[in-house]
Amino acid sequence: MESIQHRAFDADHFRDCASVVVERLAAYLDDHSLRGLALQPPAALGAAVRALMSGDGDSPATFDAERLRTIVDLFISAGIQVHSPGSMGRQFTGILPLPALVEMIGSMVNQPSSFYEAGQLPLIAERLMAAELNRFIGYDPERFAMITTSGGSLATLTAMLAARNDAFPDFWQRGCRAVGDDDVPAVMVSEDVHYSVSRAIGILGIGAEQVIRLPIDAERRIRPECIRPLLQQARMRGLKVFCLVATAGSTSIGAFDPLECIADVTEDEGIWLHVDGAHGASLLLSDVHRPKLAGIARADSIVWDAHKLLFVPPPCTLLFYRDRRRSSGAFRQQASYVFEKEPDQYTVFDTAEINFECTKRPMIVGLWAAWSLYGRSLFADKLDALCALTAAFYEHLRTQSDFEVLHRPECNILCFRYAPYPMSDEQLDALQLGLRDAIREDGTFFISKVEISGVTALRCVFGNHLTTLQHCIQLLNKIRELGDRLLAGVAEHAGAEVLEATGV
Ligand SMILES: *Cc1c(COP(=O)(O)O)cnc(C)c1O
């Protein structure tokens, strides 16, 4: 009999395996039941995973489809159930199957992008998608550039590197020696900036002491009137602010910084404006929500995560530059084995010179295929529906006297607290944390928690079109049930202590 080692590469074997996988995934898509996050104890999961590994790993394994089926089921169940209407906890969105299938083609044919030679379709699709999406940004079509990166964190690092090299042209060559005592590189960020920005600043050698935090208003947006005075102060300290990072859709509550007012200052002062739109740039596709991003075309660079609100599998991030020439400022290198001195009609499509990654997933193809086969309205309609659901939930919460809602939602994120009766700040915070854990334990819903100005809150992120207001109301009832149980437990405990203290 021919051994499995031979069959492993064959088309028939692929067909058999694919049908098992597709059948299980289709069953997953059919399941619209309310499920949260089933956190499995690592020891139990470890044992289940170990049991799937064959023997000593050296001798030929026996293949059986049943084990493959178990692998798929384990993979599905040991994760956030993003396709369930009960999944409201994080920025991972519900599932759009087509891009996942197209991803499989990329994995199947083992062709990375970055070089035209290896990634012809991805690199052409990248140019076309860039042009499509830029219609909603509004950059000069002749001047802008777009690359894809594995995640928003890497995109921000790349853009900030280009910004630093632009302001300090000798830095790449001379490192810290390029910096004069009264020209120390500094960056301005919002108090609510994503941690990936602080990381990029650390990697670039800017130093946390050279980060100027811009105050935010009650809606947690940068207060643009504070920028000039803080710039003045920075100059007095010998700092040269070369970049300001604004956010379009903050991770905590989904706030949008006022880009027009910020750009008025950065243009005036010659500061690179980087917009972290990892979460919120997708709202550009919606006619309803686009005004929140007014002024974005004045940004020097923009990060846009397609794996968040464009519903494609992670990672798929788009990094836009207003000016193509400045995109090439990030990396200043020669590598004769890959880079061409004089690009020809093919290598002009290579992105490796402006991209940190060498071997890179052809991540654009899934997005391009969905865009091409379904059109923009698929994305815009789903975004509008998610934001409308969030707004409706907000309106409902405002009428519930035992809940406090922390902000008016700008997109698909809403933060609130369960506060059935007056209690101390510490008790309220502890109640929300206890609730998050209890909800996780219960397994019907998945939500997250967040700290906003020292206040702990529950956080919902709506990324699934299957979720309705009715589900949100069910969530509130679940919170009441679990919260009251927690409070009763605390009261009982406190009661016991009182009894003990009084010696009864
Ligand atoms: C998610 C997020 C990031 C990080 O992006 P990754 O793709 O996860 O690396 C950065 N900024 C904001 C505002 C985000 O929401």
* Mean pLDDT per 10-residue segment, the chain (504 residues): 73 95 97 91 94 76 88 93 95 94 92 85 96 98 96 97 94 91 95 94 95 97 98 97 98 98 98 98 98 98 98 96 87 66 84 86 96 98 98 98 97 98 96 96 96 96 97 98 94 60 44
Please tell me the predicted confidence (pLDDT) of residue 2: 55
Task: Quote the ligand 1 centre to 475 CA distance (angstroms).
Answer: 26
Contact 119 CB / ligand 1 (< 6 Å)? no
Task: Quote the ligand 1 centre to 392 CA distance (angstroms).
Answer: 26
* Contact (CB, 8 A) for 286 and 258: no
Tokens standing for residue 441: 């334990």
Q: Which residues of 440-460 are buried (b: 16+ CB within 10 A; e: fewer)?
A: beeebbbbbbbeeeeebbbbb
* Three-state DSSP class for residue 229: helix
Please give the DSSP secondary-structure letter assigned to residue 145.
E
Please give the DSSP secondary-structure letter assigned to residue 181.
T
Task: Quote the ligand 1 centre to 49 CA distance (angstroms).
Answer: 30
Please tell me the predicted confidence (pLDDT) of residue 498: 47
Angle at 16 between CA 15 and CA 21, to 5 degrees: 95
Task: Quote the ligand 1 centre to 304 CA distance (angstroms).
Answer: 9
22: Cα within 13 Å, side-chain hemisphere: 9
How far is residue 502's CA from residue 493's CA, in Å, rounded to a whole number? Answer: 14
Task: Quote the ligand 1 centre to 318 CA distance (angstroms).
Answer: 12
Contact 277 CB / ligand 1 (< 6 Å)? no
Contact 194 CB / ligand 1 (< 6 Å)? yes
What is each CA distance from 127 to 142, 280, 301, 323, in whole angstroms?
12, 22, 17, 15
Task: Quote the ligand 1 centre to 237 CA distance (angstroms).
Answer: 31
How far is residue 484's CA from residue 312's CA, in Å, rounded to a whole number? Answer: 39
Please tell me the predicted confidence (pLDDT) of residue 340: 65
How far is residue 85's CA from residue 242's CA, in Å, rounded to a whole number? Answer: 44
What is each CA distance from 328 to 153, 161, 272, 322, in whole angstroms?
19, 10, 15, 12
How far is residue 79's CA from residue 36's CA, in Å, rounded to a whole number? Answer: 9
The residue whose CA has the least distance to atom 5 of ligand 1 is 152
Rg (the chain; Cα; Å): 26
Give the alpha-carbon dihedral of 380, 386, 391, 392, to 10 degrees. 120
Which amino acid makes up residue 47? A
Residue of 196, 312, 356 to test ligand 1 pocket, by largest number of atoms within 8 Å of CB: 196
Contact 317 CB / ligand 1 (< 6 Å)? yes
Contact 190 CB / ligand 1 (< 6 Å)? no
Please tell me the predicted confidence (pLDDT) of residue 500: 52
How far is residue 98's CA from residue 239's CA, in Å, rounded to a whole number? Answer: 49
Contact 257 CB / ligand 1 (< 6 Å)? no
Tokens 């550039």 belong to 145
Task: Quote the ligand 1 centre to 377 CA distance (angstroms).
Answer: 24
* Contact (CB, 8 A) for 356 and 315: no
Contact 282 CB / ligand 1 (< 6 Å)? no
How far is residue 111's CA from residue 149's CA, in Å, rounded to a whole number? Answer: 16
Task: Quote the ligand 1 centre to 153 CA distance (angstroms).
Answer: 6
How far is residue 357's CA from residue 319's CA, in Å, rounded to a whole number? Answer: 13
Please tell me the predicted confidence (pLDDT) of residue 503: 44
Contact 278 CB / ligand 1 (< 6 Å)? yes
Residue of 157, 192, 194 to test ligand 1 pocket, by largest number of atoms within 8 Å of CB: 194
Residue of 92, 275, 276, 357 to test ligand 1 pocket, by largest number of atoms within 8 Å of CB: 276
Please tell me the predicted confidence (pLDDT) of residue 118: 84
